[in-house]
Amino acid sequence: MFRYLLRRLLGAFFVVVGITTFSFFMIRIAPGGPFDSEKMPPPEIMRNLEKKYHLDEPLMLQYARYAKDVLVHFDFGPSFRYPERSVNEFIDLGFPVTLRLAIYSMIIAVLIGISSGLIAALYQNSRWDYSAMAFAMLGVSIPDFVLGPLFQLIFGLKLHWLPIAGWDGANFYVLPSLTLGSMYAASIARLTRGGMLEITRQDFIRTARAKGLSERVVILRHMLKGGLLPVVTYLGPAAAFMMGGSMVVEKIFDVPGLGRHFVNSALNRDYTMTLGLTIFFSAIIVLFNLIVDIAYTFLDPRVKYE
């Protein structure tokens, strides 16, 4: 197990290095610059700005300097648009909000998705099954930039049950979390149904029932472990993409998380902010994938790591 973790951590490091390299050169190749505007500053000011941020140096030297700061010191540098603040400061302030939104959304997605998938699997080809899968198809089909304003219209402006924007208390968390979690709940429901139906046909389930075990015991002790393996595989990347993909939801509901900074950095051509958030979210995805692989050993004893 230790050797496997060591190999995975080493592989993850090279993945992050590759993402850092690719992102750095892609953003530099893109037309325009971080100080471009309708009214360009005088040439002497531009030269001073480029010198301050080392943009006057050869590209490979810029890359070596940036890679060393990121991979060795975990320093993403100052923001080009807010030079008095570093990218790390924005991450420190915005990540807890994005993480909280992702946790609430994941709880909603898991509760709704697994419940719906179990009902659909246990009552296969019944109206419960069709209703749950119709919900799943609807959840996958409606994007969050449509679902969010729809929830705001219904629950905020029409019924006046919940606030439509902000992040100042528990009632503010409901609509953003429900919007972000709905799409993932639909996918979890489909995966749960498929996994449970597959495990139901296994010989050890028939043996458990033949021994006279109650259906509740068969489901909870034998079926869930194997039936939820596809869901566990999905949850790792989903949790990471939930944090990285929350930018639209954060923008709609005015949530002060990293998503808003990511959108603004792209619009403002803030090189260091865009690069820093891209690398940060990529590292989270790699980390969650590693956690999922480790969780497999607890759910499926047939999986061994050498």
What is the crossing angle of helices 170-200 and 87-122, to 10°? 50
* Per-residue model confidence (pLDDT) at position 287: 81
Alpha carbon distances (Å) from 91 to 75, 98, 101, 172, 278: 11, 10, 15, 22, 11
Does the pLDDT value for residue 306 go beyond 80?
no
Between 74-83, 219-228, 232-241, the lowest mean confidence (pLDDT) is in 219-228
Distance CA 246, CA 179 (A): 10
* Per-residue model confidence (pLDDT) at position 40: 63
pLDDT class of 186 with cuts at 50, 70, 90: confident
* Per-residue model confidence (pLDDT) at position 305: 55
* Per-residue model confidence (pLDDT) at position 38: 56
> Could you tell me if residue 178 is left (phi over 0), alpha (psi between -120 and 50 degrees) or otherwise beta?
alpha
Does the pLDDT value for residue 275 go beyond 80?
yes
Are 28 and 54 contacting, i.e. CB atoms less than 8 angstroms apart? no
* Per-residue model confidence (pLDDT) at position 270: 81
Closest CA to 231 of 283, 143, 154, 299: 299
Closest CA to 287 of 5, 1, 79: 5
Alpha carbon distances (Å) from 95 to 50, 89, 91: 29, 10, 5
Distance CA 247, CA 259 (A): 4
Between 33-47, 68-82, 155-169, 251-265, the lowest mean confidence (pLDDT) is in 33-47
pLDDT class of 289 with cuts at 50, 70, 90: confident
Q: Look up residue 206 and give its two tokens.
A: 């028939």
Q: What residue ranges define each of the domains in the chain, with the CATH number in brackets?
A: 99-256 (1.10.3720.10)
In the numeric block, the tokens 């792209």 are attached to 266
pLDDT class of 303 with cuts at 50, 70, 90: low
pLDDT class of 12 with cuts at 50, 70, 90: confident
Outline where the chain has alpha helix (H).
Answer: 2-29, 43-52, 59-71, 87-122, 127-141, 144-151, 170-200, 203-210, 215-217, 224-227, 229-244, 247-252, 258-268, 271-299
Alpha carbon distances (Å) from 240 to 9, 92, 102, 113, 283: 17, 17, 9, 18, 9
- Which range scores top for mean pLDDT: 29-43, 46-60, 151-165, 239-253? 151-165
Nearest-Å Rg of the Cα atoms of the chain is 24
Does the pLDDT value for residue 42 go beyond 80?
no
Mean pLDDT of the chain: 79
Q: What mean pLDDT do residues 133-157 have?
A: 83
Q: What mean pLDDT do residues 289-302 have?
A: 66
Q: What mean pLDDT do residues 55-65 have?
A: 83
Distance CA 126, CA 156 (A): 35
**Structure confidence by residue, pLDDT tens digits, 97-121:** 888 888 899 898 888 888 888 888 8
Does the pLDDT value for residue 195 go beyond 60?
yes
* Per-residue model confidence (pLDDT) at position 245: 66
* DSSP structure string for 90-131: HHHHHHHHHHHHHHHHHHHHHHHHHHHHHHHHHTTTSHHHHH
Q: Look up residue 25 and give its two tokens.
A: 């050169």
Distance CA 28, CA 82 (A): 19
Q: What mean pLDDT do residues 51-71 have?
A: 82
